Amino acid sequence: MPNEALIVVDMQNDFCEGGALAVPGANAVVPLVNRLIGRHDHIVLTQDWHPPGHASFASSWADAEPFSTVKFSYGPQTLWPDHCVQGTPGAAFHPDLEVTKAQMIVRKGYHTGIDSYSAFRENDRMTRTGLDGYLKARGFTRLIFCGLALDYCVAWSAIDARQAGFDVAVVLEATAAIDLDGSRKRMLTEMRQGGINLSLAA
């Protein structure tokens, strides 16, 4: 459909098997994402793109453990293993991902002191990526989301897209979740409550 775009979220090596922040089941998602790419004419890829020493890395904090939480100026922030560092193999897209049809790549998380889950707004909820303006300027009204991780970057992106006025669906089969402290169930509930269509099949 001419008014529909597929948003493929963070299909990067560090989130896949053997990566620094591997999401369980991520590798199995790649062919399903590729199937969706094959069915759509308009593709946007997002890419986590952190500078070395990013504030969201546990290694940037004395005695901090990965997956612990600290208080940032914008609220609680999970600390992660170092991942998707700019220019490293871990930040590259999965080698089997079909990237040729992508019309835009949105990089996020490159501000040293702000983490970024959503493709639309960083975690301070003020710093914008400009993706909504790009999509609206091109006349897209419906967005389909897939990729990694369901309960973080996919969910936050989908919720922000809905709040920006888009009709939004998430293809659950073409996602995988970290599921940290029940985050998968919590974010599925938030997406449903936000008016997002959760589709099972790719």
Q: Which residues carry out catalysis?
A: 10, 108, 153
**In this structure, what token pair is assigned to residue 24?**
């369980």
- The DSSP-derived string for 96-150 is TS--TTEEEEEEE--STT----SSSB-TTSS-B-SHHHHHHHTT--EEEEEEE-I
Say how many C-beta atoms besides its own lie within 10 A of residue 62's C-beta: 5
Of the candidates 18, 23, 65, 14, which has an alpha carbon nearest to the alpha carbon of residue 180?
23
